[in-house]
Amino acid sequence: MRKIAKILALVINISLAACVSSGVKIDQSKVEALQKGKTTYAEARRNFGNPTSDTILPDGTRMVMYSYVGVQSHPENFIPIVGAFVGGADSEHTMVMLNFDQNGILKNYTASQGSSGSGHNLESLSQPRQDVRAVE
């Protein structure tokens, strides 16, 4: 019994370490607080932090992007033999693009979010698990 508990603890530790994320994740409620014609570039930076990309266009307008992707492996991946048949991963992504005029006032914005699941063999048609989310 002790040996099984040690193996289970090892699998849990490995599965917790088997996640990766990159970028800046913006909560949807913060996006909804943006006001076209009112929110400034400085306010957006203060509320969201450093963007993933900040581009000044030839006409003097600015396009700012916050993108995020996170992936978490299913714990079953780390179970010998079993993982080869039922392993997989879940991912989520968000992107927020802000367009500012020459005076640094928000002209418009777009926001998207999504998730997907992937699996090996038996899990190949997997949907993202509702109880598993990528690292935040």
Percent of the chain at pLDDT exceeding 70: 64
pLDDT in tens, 48-103: 999 999 999 999 999 999 999 888 777 666 667 666 666 777 788 999 999 999 99
Does residue 133 fall inside a structural domain?
no
Does residue 29 fall inside a structural domain?
yes
Does residue 8 fall inside a structural domain?
yes
Q: List the domain range (segments joined by +) for residue 78.
A: 2-123
Under 8 Å between Cβ of 97 and 57: no
d(CA 18, CA 42): 36
Does residue 41 fall inside a structural domain?
yes
Does residue 131 fall inside a structural domain?
no
Count of domains forming the chain: 1
- What is the CATH classification number for the domain harbouring 118? 3.30.1450.10
Predicted local distance difference test score (pLDDT) of residue 24: 87
Does residue 56 fall inside a structural domain?
yes
Predicted local distance difference test score (pLDDT) of residue 75: 67
pLDDT in tens, 108-132: 999 998 877 776 555 444 455 554 4
Predicted local distance difference test score (pLDDT) of residue 55: 97
Does residue 128 fall inside a structural domain?
no
Predicted local distance difference test score (pLDDT) of residue 134: 40
Tokens of 11: 């699998």
Backbone angles phi, psi at 74, to 5 degrees: -70, 140
**Nearest partner of 34 among 66, 60, 57, judged by Cα:** 66
d(CA 87, CA 73): 8
Predicted local distance difference test score (pLDDT) of residue 29: 85
